[in-house]
Amino acid sequence: MYVVNSKFLRWYFFIMVEDLLEYIIDYGMKLGANYVEARYQFDVSDTVTLQNGVPLGCGYSSSYGISVRVLYKGGLGFSATNKLTKDVVKDIVSEALKRAETLSKMRKEPITFSETEVANVSYEVKEKEPSLNIPIDVKLEELYEIDKLVMSTNVKIPSRTFRVSSSVTEKIFVNSEGAYVKSRIPRISFFYMTVIHAANKGTITRWSSLGASAGWEQVKEWNPSDLISKEVEILDLVLDKGKKPPKEEVDVILGPEVVGIIVHESCGHPSELDRILGREGAEAGESYMKINMLGERIGTENVTIIDDPTIPKSYGFYLYDDEGVRARPKYLFKNGIINEFLLNREYASVLGVRSNGSARASRFDREPIIRMSNTYLASGNWNFEEMLSEVRKGVYIKTFSEWNICDRRWYQRYGGLEAYYIENGEIKYPVRDPFIELTTKGIYSRIVAVGKKVEFSAGMCGKGNPGQGVPVWLGGPHVLLKKVKLSIAPGR
Amino acid sequence: MDSGELIELGEQILKLAENKGIEDLAVLMRSSRSWMVRFANNQGTVIKHWNEVGVSVRIGYKKRIVIGTITSTDIKEINKALDRFLAIAKVSRENPFYTPLPEGPFKYESIKRSYDRRVLELVDKVDDVVETAINEALASGARRCAGQLSFGERTKVLVTTGGVRVSETSTAITLTVRGFFNGDSSGTGVSCSRTLDNFNPEEAGAKAGRIAREASRVGNIEAGKYDLVLDPLVVSNLFGHVLGAASGLGVYMKLSFFTNLIGKEVSTAILTIADGSREPGILGTTSFDDEGVPTQNTVVIERGVLKSLLHNSMTAKLFNVSSTGNAGWISPGPRVLKVNPGDYKEDEIFEEVKKGIYISNNWYTRYQNYREGTFSSVCRDGVFYIEDGELKFAVRGLRISDNFLLLLKNVKALSEKLYHVYWWESTLPSLVPYILASNVNITKTLF
């Protein structure tokens, strides 16, 4: 752990790390590697949790180390350590080469990386109030305040959890092509879970996350106590007054939170070229997409989905990926057409194109693999009221609870939480647990109207083996779907 | 670092902490070397290696708890980290449930069959092992395979102010093979063990290939209630959620679907589920928990009745019982899912089904209502319609969409043979049978 407040020690530490990284590249090339990259990553975080008003404990975590990736004889080897001595580092370089050589015997064709511009850059996100410098008691006070306000509503809440996490990630990436990328990204996130109870009506469970690449100032902007107090009152109403959703086919308006999870699961993940070409086949799965599907229609003209790591303050923010490739927005679906895949250098090489900067690693000891960043449905030109007025019979699903999708990203389901019945353009009453269970094409080809305002929620996206959770935003505006048959929860 | 060096480091940390006025301290250290081979389309995609060490501490200071983790074993850095953790503790607030670390020393009995040095020698044979698994899958019907082979050694050391000084070293090996007949027709087989004796790549490959091929004969059924034969992979995933819901903290905080159900009948009488922390040769086992309490096998559901929760010292005090050795410094939790065997041969379980579904694998289990246990889980790989005990055809786009408390009440039969399973989506190591559950709600994706 390095000392955050000591500038001299930090400077000295980085000099030592950069020396080691340089040594890794030299030593790897000397051993005969065709390509060597080394990444130092430092993650520091603190977490404060209040559960049912009890401060169970605070967490502080600091991890740093170095990973090495090599291409050698057509094989790919990866090795990582947090023991930053020259002997151990030397050992992990030889280990990466040995394993790459073994892998080369297990391959029919060699692994290659696509060409890319050689980056030489340092960048950082400058937060207003560095969150790790905010004392724990201030953070706890914030959670107590939320708890007080939420419990002062007339809603019965037998269980509630509030958690705030602050982190900083620093990386230095170098490779044998001469790239150097140094970055520092602070992040803050807020998680909450509430169980709302009403006599003879059962319970509703709500959880959600907010996240940003920012400092403590972001918490004030989120105003979680106001957000959650209002939400529990609304959900209490849904629990008390909610009726069954209609059985016949109806129109459905989905809120930004629901749209965000849909585009993440059924457009973002299946656009990852490593999935499409089978690399994640035994774990996170493959994809309904094939490489010859670029240019194929998947939805209506209204559907444009973008993955963009460069959105300022976003939770999935970065400017250069973990292969040193400059990041840019990727138009995955454009006006309903499959337009672009998410690529790293290995899989771009399979297509004979350049990487679009989608390689991310969650920790120092994880290999960079193809990931999403901030994935969202682009805005249209409809007001919410205009959408409502289009609906004769329908349901508005504002938020969701349960969701899942098959590992080819085709069969999916989303369970509505805050939801309402609509009749002749007016919201009439709350609806309990309406479910959408449709295919990917089924959803995107039903979208007839897209709202003007994009909103984001935060998530930790999982993929890879060993698993890697990376921060992402998921978002979109309200959308209107035509002719949807809803299902209901078991036992209702 | 070996266990002696880590214990010495732990002692040094205790001394530093004592000088700083930290009353209650546990230091948990882990040192490991491990490898992973990943493969897809019948060829390797990457080989990875790790050489790591980590230190975690649980500080108790005036009834405040701080959990700190660092990846350095440099005592100067650890000293600075302790200052930081203590500063956090000083401005934190009292935890009204605060319970000091248990006073040792304790007697520990090591877990049998948890170490095999031959596992480490696999590093020079990984291509042979993977090739064996792939060839078996291809011979059994798959056209291509993806998967992973992982193995390694880990030393875990715990030193506490309660007088605990303990270490253990274990090995582990896991293999996942997923065979594909075509994109939609797939099957998964796994093999996992702490020793090479029980490691069987041929069997994992053969199962993956056989299910993949059989899954290509596709038919159609409607959504509705069905009798389900759950493969051990599915049992591991779903009943892992059941065992997780028995965490003392989740129940105390009224988050769990087992809230207020201790001592009550929660399943059919044929079901007995335990945390098998001491099952010989099984992944996830350990002889001591994070507070230094010796582990035990804890029966959670005994012949249908919710008999015990899983506890650390804090939750044990809240429930006025003894710790079950399942710490977790904040939250207790399971390590190994063990479902007791039944008296059915596997064929007999299938023969019991007039109209039902065999689900060979699942993933993405999520809750509509965590407190009530209402969930859905996506069927994965081969899913087969059964008529009069025979697999008729594969079906697609299905989900188990039900409630855990209802599912438990519908368990009708268990196989006499148990399987050791663990994979990417079922991360709670399990020793489980095939299970027949009746009248389970199945939903189906519409276009």
User: In 3D, which of B157, B170, B129, B190 has the Cα closest to residue B54?
Assistant: B157
Identify the CATH assignment for A7-241 out of 3.30.2290.10, 3.30.1340.10, 3.40.50.300, 3.40.50.720: 3.30.2290.10
CA R_g for chain B: 23
Domain boundaries, chain B: 117-213, 217-447
Contact of B194 with chain A, judged by CB distance below 8 Å, is answered with no
Q: Angle at CA B330, nearest 5°, toward B324 and B336? A: 45
Q: What is the number of other CB atoms lying within 10 angstroms of the CB of residue A290?
A: 13
- Determine the 3-state secondary structure of B154 from DSSP: strand
Q: Where are the beta strands (DSSP E) in A52-155?
A: 58-72, 75-81, 120-124
What residue of A is the nearest CA neighbor of B396?
A411
Q: How close is the nearest chain B Cα to the Cα of A97, in Å?
A: 10
Which letter does DSSP use for residue A135 in this model? -
What class has domain B117-213? alpha beta
Q: What residues of B are in contact with residue A438 (Cβ under 8 Å)? A: 445-447
Measure in Å the smallest separation between the Cα of A152 and chain B Cα atoms: 19
Compute the nearest-CA separation of B251 from chain A (Å).
10
CA distance A312 to chain B (A): 30
Q: How many angstroms separate the CA of residue B332 from the nearest CA in chain A?
A: 13
> Does the beta carbon of A242 lie under 8 angstroms from any beta carbon of chain B?
no
Chain A residues close to B425, C-beta within 8 Å: 283
CB contact under 8 A, A137 and B93: yes
Is it the case that residue B233 has pLDDT exceeding 50?
yes
Q: Cα(A471)–Cα(A210) distance, rounded to whole angstroms?
A: 11
Please list the residues that pair with B90 across neighbouring strands.
none
Return d(Cα A87, Cα B78) in angstroms, integer.
22
What pLDDT does A2 receive?
39
Q: Which of B44, B188, B374 is the closest to A490 by Cβ?
A: B374
B69 interface with A at CB cutoff 8 Å: yes
Do the Cβ atoms of B51 and A88 come within 8 Å?
yes
Instruction: State how far the Cα of B297 lies from the Cα of B193, in Å rounded to an integer.
Output: 19
Q: What is the pLDDT of residue B436?
A: 98
Residues in chain B: 447
Check B368 against A88: CB less than 8 A apart. no
Domain residue spans in chain A?
A: 7-241, 250-488
According to the model, what pLDDT value does residue B163 have?
Answer: 97
- Determine the pLDDT at residue A490: 63
pTM over 0.95? The answer is yes
Nearest chain A residue to B94, by CA: A55
Q: Which residues pair with B418 in a beta bridge?
A: none
Greatest pairwise CA separation for chain B in angstroms: 72
B38: chain A residues, CB-CB within 8 Å:
279, 282, 465
Chain B contact for A79 (CB, 8 A cutoff): yes
Which residue in B32, B286, B282, B34 sits closest to B151, CA to CA?
Answer: B34
Please give the ipTM for the structure prediction.
0.96
Residue B277 Cα, gap to closest chain A Cα (Å): 23
* Helix B75-91 and helix A136-151, axial crossing angle in degrees, nearest 10: 40
Report the Cα A439 to chain-centroid distance in Å.
22
**Confidence at residue B120, expressed as pLDDT on a 0 to 100 scale:** 97
Collect all residues of chain A within an 8 Å Cβ-Cβ radius of residue B66: 57-60
Given a contact cutoff of 8 angstroms between Cβ atoms, the answer to whether A378 and A145 are in contact is no
Minimum CA–CA partner of B60 in chain A: A57
Alpha-carbon distance A100 to nearest alpha carbon in chain B (angstroms) = 7
Confidence of residue B358 (pLDDT cuts 50, 70, 90): very high
At A14 the pLDDT is 81
Residue contact B47–A76, C-beta within 8 A: yes
List, for residues B31-60, the tens digit of each pLDDT value: 999 999 999 999 999 999 999 999 999 999
CB contact under 8 A, A441 and B369: no
User: Helix or strand or coil: residue A376?
Assistant: strand
For residue A187, the SS3 value is strand
**CA pair distance B301, B334, nearest whole angstrom:** 13
B132 touches chain A (CB under 8 A): no
Residue ranges in chain A whose pLDDT is less than 50: 1-5
d(CA B345, CA B334): 28
pLDDT of amino acid A172: 98
CB A195 within 8 A of CB A182: no
CB pairs under 8 A between A and B: 288
Interface test with A, best of B76, B93, B367 (most A CBs within 10 A): B93
- Buried b / exposed e along A20-45 (16+ C-beta atoms within 10 A): bbeebbebbeebebbbbbbbbbbbbb
Q: Is A126 on the interface with B (CB under 8 A)?
A: no
Contact B57, B85 (CB under 8 A): yes
Residues of A in contact with B370 (CB under 8 A): 193, 195, 205, 207
Element (H, E) at A115: none
Per-residue pLDDT at B362 exceeds 60: yes
CA distance A112 to B192: 32
For residue A462 the two structure tokens come to: 């999982």
CB-CB neighbors (< 8 A) of A466 in chain B: 36
Distance CA A370, CA A323 (A): 10
- B positions 105-124 inside 8 Å of A (CB): none
Query: Residue A235: enclosing H or E segment and its boundaries?
Result: helix A224-241
Cβ of A57 within 8 Å of Cβ of B180? The answer is: no
Residue of B143, B401, B408, B427 to mutate, testing the A interface (most A Cβ within 10 Å of its Cβ): B401
- Asked if residues B328 and B312 have their Cβ atoms less than 8 Å apart, the reply is yes
Strands (E), A24-74: 35-51, 58-72
Angle between helical axes of A136-151 and A224-241 (0-180°, round to 10):
30
Contact criterion met (CB < 8 Å) for A82 and B71? yes
Instruction: Please identify among residues 246-275 of chain A the ones whose CB lies closer than 8 Å to any CB of chain B.
Output: none
Contacts of A205 in chain B (CB under 8 A): 367-372
* d(C-alpha A143, C-alpha A264), whole Å: 30
How far from chain centre, in Å, is Cα A283?
A: 18
Judging contacts by C-beta atoms under 8 Å, the chain A residues touching residue B64 are: 55, 57-58
> Are B446 and A485 inside 8 Å of each other by CB?
yes
**pLDDT at residue B310 tops 80:** yes
Cα–Cα distance measured from residue A219 to residue A190, given in angstroms and rounded to the nearest whole number: 8
The nearest alpha carbon in chain B to A485 belongs to: B446
